[in-house]
Structure 1
């Protein structure tokens, strides 16, 4: 078992004898009466895979450092994880954001919940593909994508389509792009996603929202340029 700071927390030197862990007033902690070596050790904690190694430093007291780590644990600023249990890729940024916003010790729980969700995206023009890429990068486990219209030359650009994609079905090109962003992403065909986003060039055709017929609220609809 390893002990790490919650994702996204900063350790800031305040004075010659103080450091502050975290910047949010809801849970930031000020550690005072510190020795220079203790401050150096704590400011290095942001990037350590296991903060327990700080107790092995020769320039600090092991008992004193354990006391400081216990104070951070009691304040909910650390998370206990199994070795090798890290969040890969862009989802790591999502974990840090969730930890800072929610104040949860293990933001990976949020991503594990997302991994069980299915979102449908109907309409894969530049806007729809951008939505799908964002969902994949944020850790959504399954995407149901639907748009067999060909990629247009006007679609090529920051959304992810390449010139070589022009003329190919949008679904085919989008699947390649999404797998590049999130190799573990599942591209499903379930007719019952948890959320459906419909992106249309003009007025939304009701029949294109059929996968969301079971959803209590109407699907979000966005117009594609």
Structure 2
């Protein structure tokens, strides 16, 4: 047997080593001779059967830290090795390359490119998503885009957010296919594998309805005065019949506050985002990163944590809290069909 790739092996004492650092699977192996401890520390991709007593092998096998002797690592792009190794350690078969390859065949749209939307787009590109469709025609402001994507915005002479972010992403992740699309209709026509919408104050109900009607997986990111909301992740009706759509949340809010529809109309009115103060950097990093992680979970074949839930991320702690939502009985969304 061999150790799974990506594991660190560290000495704890002359006769004890630790395999793995993550507490979900880290194992202490004790009672070793100094020679056996040294061999395990240097194991790498070499077999460990003859380096360890049967009890130690049994402990490593029980923790899922072994793979068959002679198993050859599947090749992956050097920049995506961290993705493949980390995700391989969380899978029963130990193979994270499948996740990376699935991402490379996927296309994700990001509609709305404030700091949180830009962070989500750049994270998805760096994580190996093959194609990105970007939509945001608003003029570029000094506090709009974030991170390495923003580094040369003035040099590029970009006049709108989408163009600036495309230029930055093509430098940051040159193997990702990045294109500007004008309007949600143009985005939907390309049938992306998922859509992230980033907006200030609230998600436009008309956009949410269009995404639901198109039967496309979608995830809203909403930034408010000093917090952000990420989710819920809305998937096709056939996937999750019991989960809420974005209209369900608005109906729940209207139940709690009858004036919510009036407030919502003002938040999503044309030009309303011009009154928003922008997104603090740390909040954008956390909210955008969470949004990207949720989309990646979906692309990898898993279940996003925000399916039927929503992250609430406040300033200054930026500590996400997961809030559960139910489908609203008055909503006619596909979540209540059948």
TM-score where L is the length of structure 1: 0.70
Task: Decide which of 178, 182, 188 is 2:169's aligned counterpart.
Answer: 178
What is the match of residue 103 of structure 2? 114
Q: 1:153 to 1:166 in 2, by over 3 A?
A: farther
- CA distance, structure 1, for counterparts of residue 11 and residue 41 of structure 2: 7
Contact 2:11–2:41 (Cα < 8 Å) also in 1: yes
Matched pairs, number: 207
What is the match of residue 81 of structure 1? 72
What is the match of residue 38 of structure 1? 36
Q: Provide the secondary structure at the position in 1 that maps to 2:147.
A: coil
Unaligned runs of 5+ in 1: 56-62
Deviates more, 1:119-128 or 1:211-220: 211-220
- CA distance, structure 1, for counterparts of residue 93 and residue 114 of structure 2: 36
Cα shift at 1:25: 6.3
Q: CA RMSD in A?
A: 3.6
Contact 1:114–1:139 (Cα < 8 Å) also in 2: yes
Q: 1:94 to 1:27 in 2, by over 3 A?
A: same
Q: Provide the secondary structure at the position in 1 that maps to 2:143.
A: helix
What is the match of residue 98 of structure 1? 87
- CA distance, structure 2, for counterparts of residue 66 and residue 40 of structure 1: 11
Cα shift at 1:165: 4.0
Cα shift at 1:29: 4.4
Query: CA offsets per residue over residues 26-72 of structure 1, 9 Å max, x none?
Result: 64444445332332232234xx4xx23x89xxxxxxx834989xx49
Contact 2:87–2:95 (Cα < 8 Å) also in 1: no
Contact 1:6–1:106 (Cα < 8 Å) also in 2: no
Cα shift at 1:175: 1.8
Contact 1:11–1:20 (Cα < 8 Å) also in 2: yes
